[in-house]
Amino acid sequence: MTDLWEDSLDGIYPTVDIETGEVTYPEATARLDERDDSTFEVLETLAEQDRLHREFQEKQYICPHCETKGMQYTSACPSCDSPETIRTERYRHVECGYEGIHDQFVDDDGVVCPKCEMVLESHDYLKSETANFCQNCDTIFETAKHRLLCRDCRLIAQPTRATERILYQYHLTDQGAKWIEEQLTARQLVAETLQNRTLRTEIDTTVTNGSGEEVPVHVFGQDELLNDHVVAAVHERPDEGDITNLLAIAVDVDAHAMVVTTSGTVVGEDIDQLITDDQVTILQLTKDDTLQREYEIISDPTARNSIIARIANIFEPQTG
């Protein structure tokens, strides 16, 4: 989202593997964490939130037999269903009514009707029209059937039998640009707040949890001399899960947890219980790009009115 906002990435486009038909979004995948949902699910979620605009690029068909992606269009004979057909000319000998393709009127003597054996000076003496010829069953027909061919199991199927998948390209919307600007502004303000407290800060970094895994955090501030650490997360509308996850990371790295809401609301019925031990500070990003200790707790994400919660004290340094 940041790269789209900064124009270092002009869009997110699907890539289809020619051999396997697999669809990937490499530009997006390279920017996601392994703990995230699948790339497609992340892109679709952002599109549903109107942060990304999706635009039709192409349609992909999935084989109903082996589920191979990227079935190929082919025409087929209406008589035997074989794709071994070619577009050609159908000739008709007016005198006897025989119909056939070009090669059927040709023998060693020149142009000869295979039915009445009349010798003709050229094909110009025959009436002709565009047609299709099946090289599998020798049927001449006017219109071919529409079929899909699986590149793996070679199944020839009607298009209605295959699973359709629409492939989109994604671009940043105005709402998405506003959202990412708010997120980045909040992270920068958190970093500046911690720097003012003489903590060395990093934005969009990782810390090592109790299991030895590197986990991503939005902002990490530390003062090793005073053993003072803060981990911060920025969310549009954080919920109990977001706060609980951050608290778990904070415990592992012996840090205070800070959550910033860019919408001014926090979702959950048990928020008060999570913040009673002064282990987490919740702040709001205001419209004039400042942080304040006032936010709104709501139990329903669609609700508008609820009690205003105020935090009496900002976090205290951890000196343990």
Question: Would you state the pLDDT for residue 123?
Answer: 66
pLDDT classification of 18: cutoffs 50, 70, 90: low
Question: Would you state the pLDDT for residue 50?
Answer: 95
- Two tokens at 143? 């219109």
Per-residue model confidence as pLDDT tens digits over 216-232: 999 999 987 778 899 99
**Bridge pairing between strands 127-134 and 140-141:** antiparallel
Question: Would you state the pLDDT for residue 263?
Answer: 93
Are 268 and 299 contacting, i.e. CB atoms less than 8 angstroms apart?
Answer: yes
Query: Would you list the domain boundaries of the chain?
Result: 2-68+162-172, 72-149, 175-310
Upper half-sphere CA count for residue 257 (Cβ side, 13 Å): 23
Per-residue model confidence as pLDDT tens digits over 255-306: 999 999 999 999 988 887 777 667 789 999 998 899 998 888 888 666 443 3
Query: Beta-carbon neighbour count of residue 194 at 10 Å?
Result: 24
More confident residue, 185 or 320: 185
More confident residue, 22 or 194: 194
Q: What are the backbone angles phi and psi of residue 116, rounded to the nearest 5°?
A: -95, -5
Q: What is the CATH number of domain 175-310?
A: 3.40.1350.10
More confident residue, 12 or 317: 12
CA pair distance 318, 276, nearest whole angstrom: 16
Q: What value, to the nearest 5°, has the Cα angle with vertex 86 and ends 80 and 90?
A: 95
Question: If you average pLDDT over every residue of the chain, what do you get?
Answer: 84
pLDDT over threshold 70, residue 307: no
Question: Would you state the pLDDT for residue 286?
Answer: 92
Query: Beta-carbon neighbour count of residue 171 at 10 Å?
Result: 17
Q: What are the backbone angles phi and psi of residue 132, rounded to the nearest 5°?
A: -125, 150
